[in-house]
Each structure stands twice: as C-alpha cells, then as structure tokens.
Chains A and B, each alone.
Chain A
Amino acid sequence: MVDTSTAYAPRDVRDEQPFLVVDDLHVHFPTDDGLVKSVDGLSFALRRGEILGIVGESGSGKSVTAQAILGLHKGSKAQVTGRILLDDQDLVPLSENDMRAVRGDEVSMIFQDPLSSLHPFYSIGNQISEAYLVHHKVSKKEAKQRTIAMLQKVGIPNAAGRYDDYPHQFSGGMRQRAMIAMALICEPKLLIADEPTTALDVTVQAQILELIKELRDELNSAVIIITHDLGVVAETCDQVVVMYGGQCVEKGAVDELFDQPEMPYTWGLLGSMPRMDRVRQERLTPIPGSPPSLINVPKGCVFNPRCRFSDRVEGDRCFTEHPDLLPTHGTKEGITRHEVRCHIAPEERQQILLTEIRPSL
C-alpha cells in the first residue's frame, strides 16, 4: 500500500491557476443517420491536486469527453472543436504524433473493464514497462525495476513474483490495480479514470478509490473520475460536472452541489437512487421517459421532454430557448462557482428544492 504517513495536507488551491481547462468542447460523429452530438459545448476547469467527478448516464457524453482529452478521436471521423488547455497548451490542434508524447506521460487513463483493457497475450509486467519505455530512454532492466516498484505501490503483494503473470491470472481488483500502476508509471499530471470501479465489487471499489486518492496526494495530480454513481462522487471528488445529452447541466463544488442541487435532472438522479442510509421510502421517483437522441437533440433545454417543472417557467422558453449555464443564487464571490443550466428563476428553484424535492429524497 502507499505510505500514508506522507498524508495529503489539504492546500488552498483557490488561487492556483487551473491545470486543465476545457473550453466549449464539441465532439460530433458523422453517421449515416445524421450527426451525433456526443459532446456539445462542454466547459470546465481543474487544478492540480483536485478530483473532478463527471456524472451522467449512458450516452451523456462523459466517456467521449475523456477520450477527447486524451486525443483518442484523432484519426477517426469524429469532429472535435473547442479548446482543451493542458498547462496552457491546446491539445485539440495537436497532430496524432505530438499527442502521443502527451498520452501516457502527462495525461493517462484508467478504463472501466481492466480485463478487456489489458492485452491477453502479454504479461502484466511487460505491458506496464512498455508504458514507461515509450516515454523514457532507459534500459529494459530499469523499466522492469520501476514497474515492480509501481506494482508494490499500488498494493500488489509479491510484485516481483507477479511481474510475469498474465492478466487472466489476476483477480478483478488486482487487474485494476495493475491498470492504475500502468497509468501512473510516468507520474502523469492528469489522471482520467473512466468508470474505474463500475466492474468491481463494493469492497474492491472502496480499496481502489482509496488508492486513487492516496496517489493523487502523492503526485499532486489532477484527477477526473467519470462515473454514473453519485455515491462515488460524494466519496472522492472535490468538483462535479453533471452531464446530460452531451451538455453540462450543473457543476460546482461537491459539498455545495449535493447540499443545494438545483437542476431538475440532478434532482431526478438523486430521487431515482435508493439510498442505503435511510429507511425505505414508499416509492422511488424515477425520471420519466428515456435519454434524448443525440442526433435530434430537443430544442430549448435538452432536458425538457423529461422535466416535471417546465410549467414553472413562463411561456415556452424551456422548449424554444437553450438555457445558459449561470451561477446559482448562492454562489459567493471567489468561491468555486456553482452553475446551473435551467430557466426556472433561482428563487423558484430554491423553493422547489425545499418544498418538493428535499422531503421526497
């Protein structure tokens, strides 16, 4: 395990410059049926040492965002526009060749299913040292030593003895540890974890999330965790972006957003989840309907076909006018902003939250 004696002292990160800035990112895929707008105007910023959660359901564009940051759409038909500033360098116009130097070195990624994400024919050790060798001019022996040290660090017992094991000889939790070792071997400044624990059991999930937090503390990296589980966000993240239909519908500091959620979609997510820490509610309150088509995105607010509260907005603005992502009523100066994309008046939203949403959660 990671040495916890060098515990992370929470720093005041407010004054620091963001390390990653995603600005008006669009990722569109041309298909025979039309243009799929997987990500449509996404912006967020992240400082080093911070963990950002991107939450959303399948098709919300969260994984596509992650792959866009890593430039994995380069060379495909996808159209990526906007800016992805990593330490002030824009990654969007970079060629595949230039991007390769960034991948795995400055930015690395952990994927959802460690078994299918590891090559079945090469040993764990081989695959991890390969990630080191591609960015460092060292001998294979040095890479192997470093790999073994890294495997030890992520908590794999008898790391030297397991260097030559193949992925199928590892358990699910151990495989994800190996993936993390691979992602961290070059000490990236940004780590993106795409549903890192979805395929794992809860007790293993707890171990892996703990490990990610510890390594963040040690390397002072920025971390993005992509998940559908609001519990994982509450447990690990500092910032959160809620995505729906390829857009950010609400974002802010985790404490703030969970305390004062303001977007009807976020309410819907919270109301849909049974919670272990409370006595059974009579019924869950699911979001009616199903996720939007990313080809024929609803006019106006992307959530309007499923929103229970569009009658609280005068006229038909919800159906005609695309709402902006605006700071909420309670956002104080200087604090990380809490922003919501909703036409309902801020006072009205507070009222709905207090009288209609809270009691039913």
Chain B
Amino acid sequence: MTTTAPQPAASGTARTAEPLLEVQGVEKYFPGRSVGLLGQKGNPVKAVDGVSFSLAQGETLGLVGESGCGKSTTGRAISKLIEPTGGTVRFEGQDVTKFSGRQMRPLRRQMQMIFQDPYSSLNPRHTIGTIVGSPFRIQGEKPSGGVKRTVQGLMERVGLNPEHYNRYPHEFSGGQRQRIGIARALALQPKLIVCDEPVSALDVSVQAQVVNLLEDLQNEFGLAYVFIAHDLSVVRHISDRVAVMYLGKIMEITDRDTLYEAPMHPYTHALLSAVPIPDPAVEARREKILLTGDLPSPSSPPSGCVFHTRCPKYKNELSDSEREHCRTVEPVLEEKRPGQSVYCHFPQVRADLIDGEPGPIRTTGPKAA
C-alpha cells in the first residue's frame, strides 16, 4: 500500500536547550490484589509502564487515550501526587523523582494541577477567597498588596466576579467552579499546569469558554500544559504535541498536525476514525475502524505488542510470520519519521481518517455545500 501522506509539518515549537519537564521511563505499578491466606500478591497492575516525553516551556502536550490507559495516573505521577515506582521525572533539569513531600514543597509553586470534577476538588466549607488564597497560606507567602487583593485580581483574571470572594463553591456553576480551580492553580505563578480532563464535565458552550481561558493564560504567563483528555477534538485544538496512550504505554507521540493528518499507529487510526465529526457530509464518506474485544487487563498485558489483541492491522493485513513477530517481540517507541515516534512493528501513514479524503487537510472552514 502506498502512502499519499503529506510531509509532516515541522514541529512548530521552539525547543529551548533544556526542557521544562523531562519524563523518562516512568512506571506506576499498583500492587495486585492479594490472593491466598498469607496475602501473596497477585500480578501488579501496570497502570503506567515506561512513559517518556519532554515538555518545553510554554508548550502544551496533549495526553489522549481511553479510560484505563494510564493517562491520569501519568499526570499524577509527574506532578508527584503519587509516587512513580520507576523511571525519572526531571523538572528544570532537577531529578525530582525521589523528592519527599517536604522537598517537593518549593516545587509545588512551579507545578500545579487542575482536575476534572471542579466540585469535588473544592472544599465545600471554604469560601472562594479561602480556596484561591490557600496556596499562599500553604507556602507561607505574603503577596505584595495582600492576599485578598491578589486573590481578587486572580478571580478577575479568570473571569469571576471579585465581589464573589466570600461565596461558597455550591453557589457557582460547573464552568465557574472550573475557573476557581484555575485561579487557585495560577496563584503562585507556576510554569507547568497538569490539566486532568479539565473540560470533560462541562457543556459545549462553557467548555469553549474555559479552553479559551486556558489559552489566554498560556500566552500571558508562558505556561506549559500537560493536557490530559479523552476528547480528541479539544486536544487537537489546544495542543502543540500529542501523545496517544494505550495500556500504560505511549503508542505514538508527535506534533499535533502530524498526529491528526498523518498518524502511523493502528490504534491512533482507530481512535481518530471513531470520533464523530459534526458534518453529515464528512461523516458519510469517512471510514470507521471498529476495534473488537475489550481492553486487556493491565495486570496481565498481552505478550509482544500490547495492542496486538485488538489491532485491526494485525487481524486483517499481516502475514502469519509478521503476526508471530507482533506476538513475541515488543516494539519500542522509536522515531519512524522525523519527529514522529511510534510503538509499532508495521507502522503506516494514513491521511484519510479525519475528513474521509486522502491528502492534505483543508485549511479553511467547511467547504460550501
């Protein structure tokens, strides 16, 4: 099969000499359920299994994948909310993997997190002022101009009415609560925010408001984001680079446009083809690649390539000897084309998955019908 893919666009991100965040082979194994009377442990659950990437200042890395792929655990491991069981996390060149809670404290100002459910991550008994101002208290910092004025400034910046300083979380809508979470994360002027499904719980119109806010703040403060989401459309909109995860591993990582326009991994193909596009004309000509079977258990991942049990290419296109290779030898995530790393023995560029037509994607709005 010949590929008619366009040349991948060069990564638009200017790489500084030293990445802000460098994640190398990070693993998070959860101990298995105990079996037997003496508490022998079952197989560990390999939630995250050797994830590596780096992130430059001001850059956004999208982390996509389906539930159970380990993207949220990865987010927690790099922000050290949970301890990685292997690998290294470097922040501004400093190895923070083994840092204790006390050592992490100064770093917490640089590295913040925003969560999916803005309600359960806000203490219902605290006022907005207290919540947004809490980072100052925890860090023992007195911002010039006083905490209250600074907090009100932050509230204004994220689009909340500063007069609502003394209100409680339940008095706000979902979108406003997410703004509160963002204001809290911004308080200490971090360099990196790990966003874990920040807009998944919001309605479309509100989601757009929050996405725009995140982008504005990035431009204003030079923030870097690790943007964890399952919505591939939002990820395309906000990310500079995108990593696709499956069963605790990165399947493919490259710059945004290459990932969407010339993806090489069969799993990326299936994901992209599955996202419905709000245009019946486009939908009518797109091919859907339906995956069969269920996600294997992360405590006993398949041999060889972890995706081979559900891989459409393995099932339909490969020869017996090639399949044998997939079953026995685990691929490594390596650069198959410039700037595009893929975990697959038989990668192949597909450019027709998004709008049903091969070739370069259109660059303007929808065609006149």
Say whether B294 contacts A361, CB under 8 Å: no
The interface bits of chain B over 32-64 (1 if a CB of A lies within 8 angstroms of the residue's CB, else 0) are 000000000000000000000000000000000
Q: Which of B139-147, B189-197, B231-239 contacts A (4 or more CB under 8 A)?
A: B231-239
Which residues does chain A contribute within 8 Å of B288, judged by CB atoms? 206, 210
Say whether B274 contacts A206, CB under 8 Å: yes
A229, A230, A234, A274: the one within 8 Å of B234 (CB)? A274
A173, A201, A234: the one within 8 Å of B283 (CB)? A234
Shortest B167–chain A CB gap in Å is 15
Shortest B290–chain A CB gap in Å is 6
Q: Which of B19-27, B126-134, B318-326, B357-365 contacts A (4 or more CB under 8 A)?
A: B357-365
A277 to B232, CA, bound (A): 10
A282 to B61, CA, bound (A): 18
Say whether B273 contacts A206, CB under 8 Å: yes
The interface bits of chain A over 270-289 (1 if a CB of B lies within 8 angstroms of the residue's CB, else 0) are 11111111111101111100
- Which of A259, A271, A281 has most chain B Cβ within 10 Å? A259
Would A231 and B276 be within 8 Å (CB), given that A277-B354, A290-B173 are in contact? Answer: yes
The chain B residue with its CB closest to the CB of A199 is B67
A218 to B260, CA, bound (A): 35
Which residues does chain A contribute within 8 Å of B317, judged by CB atoms? none
Say whether B230 contacts A276, CB under 8 Å: no
A331 close to B (CB within 8 Å): no
Which residues does chain A contribute within 8 Å of B278, judged by CB atoms? 230-231, 233-234, 258, 270, 273, 275
B207, B281, B290, B365: the one within 8 Å of A360 (CB)? B365
B208, B281, B355, B365: the one within 8 Å of A284 (CB)? B208
Say whether A276 contacts B361, CB under 8 Å: no
The interface bits of chain B over 262-298 (1 if a CB of A lies within 8 angstroms of the residue's CB, else 0) are 0000000011111111111111000010110011000
A183 close to B (CB within 8 Å): no
Which residues does chain B contribute within 8 Å of A206, judged by CB atoms? 273-274, 276, 288, 290
Say whether A255 contacts B280, CB under 8 Å: yes
Shortest A4–chain B CB gap in Å is 12
Which residues does chain A contribute within 8 Å of B138, judged by CB atoms? none
B272, B275, B281, B363: the one within 8 Å of A279 (CB)? B363
Would A291 and B203 be within 8 Å (CB), given that A203-B291, A235-B283 are in contact? Answer: yes
The chain A residue with its CB closest to the CB of B256 is A280
Say whether B212 contacts A276, CB under 8 Å: no
B369 close to A (CB within 8 Å): yes
A254 close to B (CB within 8 Å): yes
The chain B residue with its CB closest to the CB of A357 is B365
Say whether A57 contacts B274, CB under 8 Å: no
Which residues does chain B contribute within 8 Å of A259, judged by CB atoms? 280-281, 369
A159 to B207, CA, bound (A): 40
B366 close to A (CB within 8 Å): yes
A171 close to B (CB within 8 Å): yes
Would A58 and B203 be within 8 Å (CB), given that A232-B276, A279-B363 are in contact? Answer: yes
B204 close to A (CB within 8 Å): yes
The chain A residue with its CB closest to the CB of B365 is A361
B252 close to A (CB within 8 Å): no
Say whether A275 contacts B230, CB under 8 Å: no
The chain B residue with its CB closest to the CB of A210 is B290
Say whether B203 contacts A203, CB under 8 Å: no
B198 close to A (CB within 8 Å): no
B233, B291, B294: the one within 8 Å of A273 (CB)? B233
Say whether B205 contacts A268, CB under 8 Å: yes
Which residues does chain B contribute within 8 Å of A258, judged by CB atoms? 278-281
B175, B232, B365: the one within 8 Å of A276 (CB)? B232
A269 close to B (CB within 8 Å): yes
B211 close to A (CB within 8 Å): yes
A172 close to B (CB within 8 Å): yes
Would A274 and B211 be within 8 Å (CB), given that A201-B66, A231-B276 are in contact? Answer: yes
Which residues does chain B contribute within 8 Å of A280, judged by CB atoms? 236-237, 256
Q: Can you give 25 A-B contacts (C-beta < 8 A)?
A: A171-B295, A202-B66, A202-B230, A206-B274, A206-B276, A207-B291, A231-B283, A233-B278, A234-B277, A254-B280, A259-B369, A271-B208, A275-B277, A276-B277, A277-B361, A278-B363, A278-B366, A279-B257, A279-B361, A279-B363, A287-B205, A290-B175, A291-B203, A359-B365, A361-B366
The 9 closest A-B pairs by CB, nearest first: A231-B276, A274-B237, A286-B208, A272-B208, A201-B66, A230-B278, A206-B274, A287-B205, A57-B203
